Every structure is written in C-alpha cells, then in structure tokens.
Amino acid sequence: MDKKIGFLNFGHWQPVQGSQVRTGADALLQTVELAEAAEELGVDGAYVRVHHFARQLSSPFPLLAAIGARTRRIEIGTGVIDMRYENPLYMAEEAAAADLISAGRLQLGVSRGSPETALRGSEAFGYVPGEGSDDAELARAKTGLFLSAISGTALVDADPRMHRGGTRLAVQPQSPGLRERIWWGSGTRSTAVWTAQQGMNLMSSTLLSEDTGVPFDELQAEQIALFRAAWDEAGWAHQPRVSVSRSVMPITTDEDRAYFGADRDSGDQVGLLGGVRSRFGKSYAGEPDELAEQLSKDMAVREADTLLLTIPNMLGVEYNARLLETITQHVAPAIGWVHPDQR
C-alpha cells in the first residue's frame, strides 16, 4: 500500500497581530501558493476544509480549479463539504469541471458536516429537512443524488420541442472516474460501514462521536477495519482509500517552540459534543525524530493509506512550506511514505 500525505487547510483569516492571512483574498491566494510549494516538495494532496458564515474557506470549487490549473500532479480535495448546504446537481457540474481542469485529480470529501457557527445555516441557504426527517437524512439524500449525477444517470426529461419524446438528460460535463474519488467524512464506526456500502472512500474524522475507553488511534483503526470488511462484503470492483488527519508540528526553531512547545505532551481529549461523548485525537509536536517514532506507532496512521496534515495556515505560506518540508524529509518516511519520484 503506497502511503500518501497531504495538507488540510482550514483557511482561517483574521486581521490580528501575527496573522499572515488577514483577508479572504489572502486565504484563497495563499492556499494556491502553498499547493504549488507542496507539489515541489513531493506532497501528494492539497485539501481544504469547508465552513459557512465564518472567516474560513467556504466555496471550494473555484479554489480547487485554480489549484488544478496551476499544478500538474498534486491531488486536490476537500475535507469535507457539508452536504446540507449543497445543491447536488449544481455541485455535480462544478465538481466535474474542477476535475476536468485538473485532469482527474479531484478527491472530494463530503459528509453530514460538523457543527457550524450559524444557527440552522443550511436553512438560510434554502434547504430544510422534510417532515419527519433530519439533517443527517437530508445530507445522505443529497449525496445519493450527487453520486447519481456524476455517474451519468439521466435525471430529467428533455423538452420534447428540442428532443425526441422520452429522452432524458444527464448533467454536463461528465468527468470519467470521478465517482470512485468521492469520500465520506465518517465520525463513527457505523457510518464507516455505511460509507463502504455506498462505495465511497473513507475520510475518518478528526474526532469520533463515540468513546469506548480505548485510545483514539485504536478506535479509529477499528473503524477502518470495519470499513474494509464492509467494502469486501459489498463486492465493489475497485480498492477503496482511507485517510486520517493529524496535527503534526515539528519543532526545529525557537519560533516553532514558541508556537507549539506547549503541545508536546498533549494526549487524547474526551468530552461532550452535541450531548454525545466524543473522543478527539492528540496533537503531535516535538523534534522530528520524536514525531517519526510516535507516528510510526499510531495504529490508524499505519492502517490508512493517506495522512492529511492539518496546518496552521495563518502563519503564512513560507512557514507552512518549511513545516511540510521538514515532515517530508524527516517524519513521513517513518510511516512508509516515499517521494513520488522514487515510487
């Protein structure tokens, strides 16, 4: 199994002291610049988080298309798009366009989404669960329609004045292979099984909304094992991919130490999220050789084929490019990652 690494950018911007990302334009343009720098380093993926009504990245497809046009190899993706906010057919058109511009490099993570700053924000976008339904069912129904659309299913009747009677139409453009590059952001073991049954890749969440008392990486590894067993049982013809996210902060300078030295001994966090007992993974901070040893023992990192590195984007492109360079040279090889030129 080839190991891949990518960066995951939450795209924060704030006009505050020390921030290198002060405006929405900064967040967008610096993400493109970082993707270019990451590609030069051999990083496999450039992923963006999607949030609404917040000073974070929110509309991913123009950004992903821009990255795709400025790069040649690096995968472009999301982690994740909250499907409650989306028009599935318009999203299918945008996703196909971004995928075609990037020559088939789109890896699109979607999900029910995480808590947002807005109260019933998706309703402000015009999407309200039907009677007797809830947000989760709304997101899954929209995802089903989106998957049908990108698979080329004819979804609407043609106007008989322009086509022969009985003709049905699919959204355009279509991008071959995109259906196999859709991921579901899963926060429980049961949704991981559902993800496999739908034929989507697994994007294991940065938190799991369940807690069995075992360390986060072990619980996540169990989730991955259940996903793969369900995938085999479903009989899909292709092999799935699995990603996990980690905060990995190499400390090599006084600046690094000032920012992340306090995180060196952090462990799992357990708390209530929406009334559900949840477990959050630890942050990794330390000397590169320490991080290499710790990550090599992380059970979920070992089981996944893709590691997404959450980055402190407000520190700017130069800082994050140096962070990624340190990881590619001194940390990632310990988990089995090999530079693309040497694969």
Which residues have CB under 8 Å from 200's CB, separation 6+? 147, 182, 183, 184, 240
What is the 8-class DSSP label of residue 159? P
CA pair distance 66, 94, nearest whole angstrom: 13
What is the DSSP annotation of 54-69? SSS---HHHHHHHHHH
Per-residue pLDDT averaged across 81-93, rounded? 97
CB atoms within 10 A of CB 142: 20
- Is residue 95 scored above 60 in pLDDT? yes
pLDDT of residue 116: 79
Give the Cα separation of 342 and 334 in Å (integer): 16
**Inter-helix orientation angle 317-330/24-41, to 10°:** 30
Q: Are strands 276-280 and 269-273 parallel, antiparallel or unpaired?
A: antiparallel
The pLDDT of residue 166 is 83
Residue 270 is predicted with a pLDDT of 45
What integer pLDDT is reported at residue 280 of this predicted model?
Answer: 54
pLDDT tens across 19-33, in order? 999 999 999 999 999
Q: Please state, in angstroms and rounded to a whole number, the distance separating the CA atoms of residues 42 and 120.
A: 40
Task: List for the chain the helix, strand, coil content (%; round to 5).
Answer: 45, 20, 40
Q: How far apart are CA 34 and CA 268, in angstroms?
A: 29
Q: Is residue 95 within 8 Å of 63, Cβ to Cβ? A: no
The residue among 81, 283, 293 whose CA lies nearest residue 182 is: 81
Place of tokens 């477990």: 279
pLDDT of residue 339 exceeding 70? yes
CA dihedral 199, 309, 72, 109 (to 10 degrees): 30
More confident residue, 265 or 8: 8
Residue 278, pLDDT score: 45
Could you read off the pLDDT of 237-296 as tens digits, one per residue? 999 999 999 999 999 999 999 988 877 666 655 443 444 444 456 789 999 999 999 999
pLDDT for res 265: 62
Which residue is listed with tokens 């071959």? 176
Name the amino acid, one letter, at 175.
Answer: S
Separation CA 270–CA 279 (nearest Å): 5
DSSP state of 269: E
- Output the pTM of the full model: 0.94
Distance CA 305, CA 62 (A): 27
pLDDT at 281: 64
